[in-house]
Amino acid sequence: MKNPLQKILASKYGWLLLLIILFGINFLASAFHSRLDLTREKRYTLSNPTKEVLNGLEDDLQIDVFLKGDFPSGFRKLANSTDEFLQLLKDRNGAKIHYEFISPQDEIPGANGVKYQDTLVAMGASPINLTVQVKAGQEQKFVFPVALVKYKGEQRLINLYSGGSRIISQVEINNAEALLEYNFLKIIDELIHPERPVVGYATGNGEPDLKGFDTYDLQQIVRQRYDFYTFNLTAQKIIPDQFNVFIIVKPSLQFTEEEKLKIDQYIMRGGHVLFFIDRLYAENDSLKFKPQTVAYDRDLNLTDILFRYGVRINPSLIMDLQCDFLSLVVGGTQENPQKEFLPWNYYPVFQSKNDHIINKNIGLVTGKFVNSLDTIQENNVRKTILLSSSPNSRIISTPALISLNENKIAPQDEKFRADNIPAAVLLEGKFTSFYKNRVGKITMDSLNKEGTPFKEESVNNAKIIVVGDGDMVLNEIIVNEGQSPMPLPMGWNRNAYQEYAEKTENARFFIPFANRNFLMNCLEYFTNKPGIIETGNKEIVLRLLNTEKVKKQKTTWQFINIALPVLLVIFFGFVYQQTRKRKYAA
């Protein structure tokens, strides 16, 4: 008696019906599929904030990833990880999300020979110069580990890998993969909710003027995502609560108690402040006229208030063997001096510790004459070191004699034994006002009149970042005779850039330090939604094989993976044949 399937196949159109059924199953499988995420860190599972943002898409979202090409294994792995993540997004809202991988060397359709890489550089993308082995030999390629997200006529650039290294380590790949959801989520959320946070820039205490060339890059990158306004602490009464973040950059004049009270009460009302402070006066300009100078205290009158919040900027400088370079005269004549690039230990280079969303995988950050910091025990305030020195560093205290002759000879390495000297600290929590029990009735009445009554404690978990360097977010300037000054992006070394530009036509592809990324990560941490910030704390554990165990058990695992499957097939084939012989022999 035939079963139903046999009856269907035996009918006139049975095979046609079977093909239709198979086609339908394949179509449903391609249109609707899911995966079971068995990883401990849930790397293939989208967070609830991401799902909510994707559900809020009203129009098509186009994502162009510029990681298509013949790249080394590290960048291929990053491309594959990005592809897997974007597929997760598409699975969530396939009708609205579209993505494509594009080679940056391809020409833009209808753009008269303009390549994608030219547009990416103009948008601020920093490429990585690679030497790739091809059939004809070696070829120079510029890798752009970025993605371009487009929504409702707006577009944003996403850095998938913020470092500048040609070879990505497995740790860096893991960090980049862990940040994929955060990087895409924050940009998509910005495009869906285009309301721009407001950033205030302090003036009145000798801060660099926004009309000057040294703040050009600061303004450019901040104004891309934020409304940016100046605020004169001396002339204006109250720091507006409309400022989501208030930045104080390299003041040179002393703060009065009235000005400090304005900062204090802004923090108590829930404001976030970003301090970039040079406590000591130490500038390279002083070394142009004489071979040595003395670093001295600016006396800004900020030590007491910062101490109350939980941090102290020390009257000392960090010297580090991991540092940037400076062009120094080492010989020759006055008319024809001989110059060399030598390590300048007063320009420390800070490597990311990857222990916080702000510094995770951002690359190297450089500073100039950086002051060391100390954290102070303060209840209800959590402290995170964002930037710190290498294991080969030291501290020199005031009065500090800075001499150009120091680096004309090899530094005495035995003096550079300090490790992890703090240079930037994040403070979070419930702050107590520095002026608690210190404010008179006249000041109280004045604050009440302005509609901002005095608060003894912060109303919520406020955030403060203190950086012991004011130059970190300022840019250098190239001045050529007969030409207008050319501001460089922050983090670019003027001397190194000019040297690079003279030797190559690709000066526009010069790789800067990650000062831009550090500043923007600080602002994003202050202004992003808590749910989005939490996605940046995802960790992907790097589980490496035990190389010693692999060597010892090499033969065993070769047998299990190669010989055992063959033997099993032969065994089951023999059993099957014997079973058939006995069955039909009977």
- Please say if the pLDDT value at position 408 is more than 90: no
Task: State residue 136's pLDDT score.
Answer: 60
Q: What is the mean pLDDT of residues 539-552?
A: 70
Cα angle 340, 505, 323; round to 5: 35
**How many angstroms separate the first and last alpha carbons of the chain?**
23
CA-CA distance, 103 to 66, in Å (whole number)?
Answer: 6
pTM for this entry: 0.77
How many CB atoms sit inside 10 A of residue 254's CB? 13
* Cβ atoms of residues 255 and 302 within 8 Å: yes
The amino acid at 449:
K
Kindly report the CATH number that applies to the domain delimited by 40-192: 3.40.30.10
| Distance, C-alpha 97 to centroid of its chain | 25
Instruction: Report DSSP letters for 224-292, one per residue.
Output: TTSEEEEEETTT-SS--TT-SEEEEE---SPPPHHHHHHHHHHHHTT-EEEEE---EE--GGGGGTSSE
CA-CA distance, 166 to 270, in Å (whole number)?
Answer: 42
- Please say if the pLDDT value at position 88 is more than 80: yes
pLDDT over 70 percentage in the chain: 84
113 vs 431, more confident: 431
Task: State residue 141's pLDDT score.
Answer: 72
pLDDT band of residue 165 (cuts 50, 70, 90) is low
φ and ψ of 322, to 5 deg: -90, 100
pLDDT tens-place string over residues 332-383? 666 676 677 778 889 999 987 777 888 877 878 999 999 999 999 888 899 9
Specify the residue for token string 């390495």.
413
What are the beta bridge partners of residue 272?
A: 245
* Cβ atoms of residues 128 and 143 within 8 Å: yes
Query: DSSP 3-state assignment of 36?
Result: coil
- Please say if the pLDDT value at position 407 is more than 70: no
Instruction: Report DSSP letters for 137-169, one per residue.
Output: EEEEEEE--EEEEEETTEEEEEES-----SS--
- Please say if the pLDDT value at position 134 is more than 70: no
Specify the residue for token string 């690679």.
130
Specify the residue for token string 């993540």.
85
Q: What is the mean pLDDT of residues 2-25?
A: 69
Q: What is the mean pLDDT of residues 190-217?
A: 92
pLDDT tens-place string over residues 229-266? 999 999 998 999 999 999 999 999 999 999 999 999 99
CA-CA distance, 486 to 555, in Å (whole number)?
Answer: 63
Domain ranges of the chain: 1-33, 40-192, 198-534, 547-585
Q: Is 491 left (phi over 0), alpha (psi -120 to 50) or beta?
A: left
Among 26-40, 122-136, 396-410, 415-429, which range has the highest average pLDDT? 415-429
- Please say if the pLDDT value at position 331 is more than 90: no
Among 27-41, 125-139, 423-437, which range has the highest average pLDDT? 423-437
Query: DSSP 3-state assignment of 120?
Result: helix
Q: What is the mean pLDDT of residues 107-114?
A: 84
CA-wise closest residue to 156 among 63, 236, 231, 66? 63
CA-CA distance, 73 to 133, in Å (whole number)?
Answer: 13
Task: State residue 481's pLDDT score.
Answer: 72
CA-CA distance, 324 to 346, in Å (whole number)?
Answer: 8
Q: What is the mean pLDDT of residues 272-285?
A: 91
Mean pLDDT of the chain: 84
The amino acid at 504:
T
586 vs 490, more confident: 490
Specify the residue for token string 């079963």.
3
The least confident of 136-145, 176-185, 516-525 is 136-145
* Cβ atoms of residues 271 and 309 within 8 Å: no
Task: State residue 46's pLDDT score.
Answer: 83
Q: Is the Cα torsion angle 252, 258, 264, 266 positive or negative in sign?
A: negative
Q: What is the mean pLDDT of residues 58-81?
A: 88
